[in-house]
Amino acid sequence: MEVNVKSSVHAEKAMKLFLSGYNCAQSVFAAFCDLHGMEEKEALRLSSSFGGGMGRLREVCGALSGIFMTAGLLWGYDSPEDKEAKTEHYRRIQELAKEFKSRTGSLVCRDLLGTLEQGKDSYIPSDRTEAYYQSRPCKELVGLAAAILDGYLEEIRKEVSD
């Protein structure tokens, strides 16, 4: 899979975090600390469970989970009675997921990696070697996820300023 990453400050930061050893969810979520206001250490701990498609279960891509967590802090709802806010938030999440899927072909980690069957991966993290980085699209996926969210933020800024 060839992923075209539009460069952005957050995309660059997310890829740098990934290359330093953080998982895909941590890399995306922590890249946006400047916007969502969470301390980086807290952001890294909160998002640590979502790497590898949720604890290496290879389900929803961790990079996408990082987008969703960021969106929750930026626009999420906090009242179960506020159906309008809940509806708007889910609309945003589905738009972001649709964009990610249109660029990658899937929302699912095992599909994006292309080599794993459901339930067949170990809970033991892989060593981060040169071969690891060359065999996986994860660096590009975290960059893409951050760039998608940056693009979405830019669209919102344009709508507000018009």
pLDDT of residue 129: 85
Residue 69: which region, alpha, beta or left (left: phi > 0; alpha: psi -120 to 50)? Answer: alpha
In the chain, what are the domain boundaries? 9-161
> Which of 128, 137, 73 lies closest to 110, judged by CA?
137
pLDDT tens, residue by residue, 11-31: 999 999 999 999 999 999 999
Give the pLDDT confidence of 110-150 residue by residue, as tens digits. Answer: 999 987 655 567 788 888 888 888 888 999 999 999 999 99
Q: What pLDDT, on the 0 to 100 scale, is given for residue 117?
A: 57
Q: What is the per-residue pLDDT across 70-124, written as a single tens digit (0 to 9) for each?
A: 999 999 999 999 999 999 999 999 999 999 999 999 999 999 998 765 556 778 8
* pLDDT beyond 70 at 5: no
